[in-house]
Structure 1
Amino acid sequence: MGGDRLHKTPNRIDGITIEVSNAMQLVTHKFSVEDYHRMGETGILPPDKNFELIRGEILEMSPVGFKHAYTVRQITALCYEKFSAVISVQDPILLLNESEPEPDITILSGSPQQYAECLPTATDVQLLIEVSDSTLRYDQTVKLPLYAENRIPEVWIANIQDQQLEVYREPDGSTYSQMLVLKDSESIAPLAFPEIQIMVKDILG
């Protein structure tokens, strides 16, 4: 999700558009995870740019803003202090529906060694955190349903725009049946670490 990431919609695929019933329709190609990796390995995707694969679409991420970067660093330090777990920062996870997003922070089960030769999957995720400012709507309407469909048990959106923490739990289809909105003075204990209370003000900075 990370924050400050923009969905750049392609307007041509291989330079071709097709006219159907007198209406111009854009023909788009869906990429598999294997396609996506191959394009990265062969240099088709520029190495100086960042991308995510979301439902078979390759999305270019815009540069990260200073407030987003600061908040990610703040939360990362907090996670290392609080959790005895694998902390993954802006690294990919492999999901169903031909998707490979790069959440801002992912708390993973197990040990670092088990991810040496494979990407984490949804079953490895204990808590997923997205830092969101200009991409708030995108994170809420595109990435959050994807996380629910993959049954990631808990997602936090650090909503910089409104200075609040959005907590999503109990995945049910493409939604979460429980949503909490917390302000600075409140605290939250992750489902995977019920004994650990986190102050919202320590997340939002």
Structure 2
Amino acid sequence: MQLVTHKFSVEDYHRMGETGILPPDKNFELIRGEILEMSPVGFKHAYTVRQITALCYEKFSAVISVQDPILLLNESEPEPDITILSGSPQQYAECLPTATDVQLLIEVSDSTLRYDQTVKLPLYAENRIPEVWIANIQDQQLEVYREPDGSTYSQMLVLKDSESIAPLAFPEIQIMVKDILG
């Protein structure tokens, strides 16, 4: 027997949220038309998100969005852990940011590492998000992905505690990996 799946549009997804079909006490993401329930956030994940958020506010003069949705092609509305956006907060008052607004996207990965690497990362590349960082809690390293090319990134760096990196959008700002991973 073949299983039949139904793909949802972004509009369908929003309507389900507005009408209560999707329980408000659960976290969901729309990825390639599929509604996925996200696993509960663990204490290490939450701590790392707070750590990186504080660092971003200290270092960047930009719009910093924490666990908020972005609207992507392919009927997708993921909620990255941290997104550094261009422009001003007011430009996002009536609409969600899109891939062209994203300067740097950061995912904090503990139990979601494989999902972030194999599902979300290709989606971000297809949408031409210029730079994605995965704070890999399991291996205590920062994975840096640059130069989107189709559904992959042509440049990948793996950095450890003692190393630093400057985001492409902010080349004058060096960030120590140990400050990201805590």
Q: What CA distance in whole angstroms lies between the structure 2 residues aligned with 1:124 and 1:47?
A: 27
TM-score by length of 2: 1.00
Corresponding residue number in structure 1 for 2:114: 137
Alignment coverage as a number of residue pairs: 182
Tell me which of the two structures has the higher relative contact order, counting C-alpha pairs closer than 8 angstroms and 6 or more residues apart.
Answer: 1
Q: What CA distance in whole angstroms lies between the structure 2 residues aligned with 1:46 and 1:136?
A: 25
Q: What CA distance in whole angstroms lies between the structure 1 residues aligned with 2:39 and 2:161?
A: 28
TM-score by length of 1: 0.88
Q: Which string of whole-angstrom CA distances, capped at 9 and with x for unpartnered residues, describes residues 100-140 of structure 1?
A: 00000000000000000000000000000000011111100
Percent identity among equivalent residues? 100
- Partner SS state of residue 25, structure 1: coil
Across the aligned residues of Structure 1 and Structure 2, the Cα RMSD in angstroms comes to: 0.3
Question: How far 1:63 sits from its partner (Å)?
Answer: 1.1
Corresponding residue number in structure 1 for 2:48: 71
Q: What CA distance in whole angstroms lies between the structure 2 residues aligned with 1:184 and 1:47?
A: 38
Aligned residue runs from structure 1 range 11-160, under 5 A: 24-160=1-137
Q: What CA distance in whole angstroms lies between the structure 1 residues aligned with 2:24 and 2:134?
A: 28
Gaps of 5+ in 2: none
Question: How far 1:200 sits from its partner (Å)?
Answer: 0.1
Q: What CA distance in whole angstroms lies between the structure 2 residues aligned with 1:85 and 1:131?
A: 20
Aligned residue runs from structure 1 range 2-17, under 5 A: none
Question: How far 1:149 sits from its partner (Å)?
Answer: 0.1
Spell out structure 1 runs of 4+ moving beyond 2 A.
none
Rg bigger for which structure? 1
Gaps of 5+ in 1: 1-23
- Partner SS state of residue 106, structure 2: strand
